[in-house]
Amino acid sequence: QSVLTQPPSASGTPGQRVTISCSGTSSNIGGNYAYWYQQLPGTAPKLLIYRNNQRPSGVPDRFSGSKSGTSASLAISGLRSEDEADYYCAAWDDSLNVLFGGGTKLTVL
Amino acid sequence: EVQLVESGGGLVQPGGSLKLSCAASGFTFSDSAMHWVRQASGKGLEWVGRIRSKGYNYATAYAASVKGRFTISRDDSKNTAYLQMNSLKTEDTAVYYCTGATVTTLPDYWGQGTLVTVSS
């Protein structure tokens, strides 16, 4: 069981807005930045959000991140079929380990 | 274009050793921390460890599950990172990703992964 807790699944219809949560503690998300990764089927993960709410070049602004206290969230607006993927949150822990959430499988209905 | 290419994966018996390599290009390798992350089939991502740059004395850190068995190293002259895996267990079976932290402190670029299977 992961220290960072994510819902195992989420779903939405095209055009909808979907939010995925990531719950941690004061030792990880509470005191460090949150990151989000997208893993399309059969491919390597890709950085989606870094430092809580920053998007790397090339990531559409439909993807946004936020953090409040010991939780972080990823929001996807204008949902598209190509957004169907696994999404992982991540953060440093104060013990200098990197923690990943268990992952959320997003289904576009 | 950033590229990370892993090699060295394969089948190894429990208790055996394997060394993975990761050839990097397209970014300033010597200034970047390098992480290894693994993923068992059908499972989530698990951080294995990381090595920092020369400016941070090549400091390493490891997940508890591999500490004492795995060693991360790098050769900046070859733009290559390594993961030496000893005393392998069946639960180490996974796709191993080499990742670079070029802008942030967590991985921002990922290789395609190499499969390590530990089985008798």
Tell me the nearest-neighbour CA distance from B15 into chain A, angstroms.
Answer: 25
Phi, psi (rounded to 5 degrees) for A88: -125, 135
Name the residue among A44, A46, A24 with its Cα closest to residue A34. Answer: A24
**What distance in Å separates the CA atoms of residue A63 and residue A80, rounded to the nearest whole number?**
11
pLDDT tens digits for B95-118? 999 999 988 889 999 999 999 999
pLDDT tens digits for B56-98? 999 999 999 999 999 999 999 999 999 999 999 999 999 999 9
Token code pair at residue B48: 């294995």
Q: Is the pLDDT confidence value at A65 over 80?
A: yes
Phi, psi (rounded to 5 degrees) for B6: -90, 150
pLDDT at A1: 67
pLDDT at A51: 97
A96–B97: do the CB atoms touch at under 8 Å? no
Q: Would you tell me which residues 51-70 of chain B have a C-beta closer than 8 angstroms to some C-beta of chain A?
A: 61, 63-64
Interface mutation vs chain B, best among A6, A47, A51, A86, most B CBs within 10 Å: A47
pLDDT tens digits for B6-42? 999 999 999 999 999 999 999 999 999 999 999 999 9
Q: Is the pLDDT confidence value at A2 over 90?
A: no
A46 chain-B contacts, CB cut-off 8 A: 110
